[in-house]
Amino acid sequence: MSDCRKTMTKILIVDDHPMFREALRGAVAVARVDAEVFEAGGIEAACEVLRGTQGIEIVLLDLSLPGTSGFDGLILLRSSFPRVPIMIVSGMDDPRIVQEAIRLGAAGFVPKSANKSTLAEAISDVLSGSVFVPEDLAGRLARTQAATGAVDVAARLAELTPAQIRVLQLIRHGRLNKQIAHELGVSETTVKAHVSEILRKLNVVSRTQAVIETAQLDFEAILGTDATRSWD
């Protein structure tokens, strides 16, 4: 029996509705007959399972959980357990939500309305290292990205303060926090605070992603102002 258990695929389902957890168990059984399924009704419980169980290979995560808002649950799990792929299984299927989930590190996104075969395919693809979005939703996502890509980035960029714009410009030039602090005559702690706000406002999770997202944008033209004006 111990040899059999070593080959089991360990899957964690995180959803606060017992009936839907049961439905997901059925989909998991189709995708992986050898699966060992763990369940959690919220993010704290999910963290306890992940900390206490070796070898969880995939998390199936609902976005709407008690005590969380927006992508908080995804962000917390990704930051705490970066090596475990997380597939979102949500009742919300707006392409903008899918786009942000993938951007924040989700390994897949499946609407709760999907049938068991789609869920099974998604689980198999993610376990094999792919990013999964159902074909119809992927088409809607592509159209949304094409229509809103540059405009969306520009809108998010416009939310930055002049000080944050200046910090982002220096990040784009490859400066480290210490170098930025020296060049602008402020503390490194102040720079770190601005970097955190930049990432939050741009909806990205790293400096590299911020650079990529804004690579083709002219800050001054978009903002219609002098981005290098006084530090505030």
Check residue 120 and report its DSSP letter: H
pLDDT tens profile 106-122: 888 999 988 888 988 99
Q: Which residue has the tokens 């897949």?
A: 108
What pLDDT, on the 0 to 100 scale, is given for residue 44? 95
Counting Cα atoms < 13 Å in the Cβ hemisphere of 52 gives 9
Give the integer Cα–Cα distance in Å for 189 and 185.
12
What pLDDT, on the 0 to 100 scale, is given for residue 203? 77
What pLDDT, on the 0 to 100 scale, is given for residue 182? 94
What pLDDT, on the 0 to 100 scale, is given for residue 225? 46
pTM for the structure as a whole: 0.62
pLDDT at 221 over 60: no
Give the integer Cα–Cα distance in Å for 76 and 119.
24
Q: Is the dihedral of CA 212, 167, 81, 87 positive or negative?
A: negative
Domain 2-141 class? Answer: alpha beta
Burial 96-109 (b: 16+ CB within 10 A, else e): ebbbbbbebbbbbb
Better pLDDT: 142 or 132 = 132
| Domain residue spans of the chain | 2-141, 158-223
pLDDT at 144 over 70: no
pLDDT tens profile 165-218: 889 989 988 899 999 999 999 998 899 889 888 888 887 777 887 887 777 565
CATH topology for 158-223 is Arc Repressor Mutant, subunit A (1.10.10)
Q: Which residue has the tokens 């917390």?
A: 76
Q: Which residues have a Cβ under 8 Å from the Cβ of 195 and sit 6 or more positions away?
A: 167, 171, 177, 207
Pairing verdict, β 9-14 and 35-40: parallel
Q: Which residue has the tokens 């990432």?
A: 199
What pLDDT, on the 0 to 100 scale, is given for residue 147? 56
Do 2-141 and 158-223 share a fold?
no
Pairing verdict, β 9-14 and 86-90: unpaired
pLDDT tens profile 61-76: 999 898 888 888 999 9
Average pLDDT over residues 131-138: 83
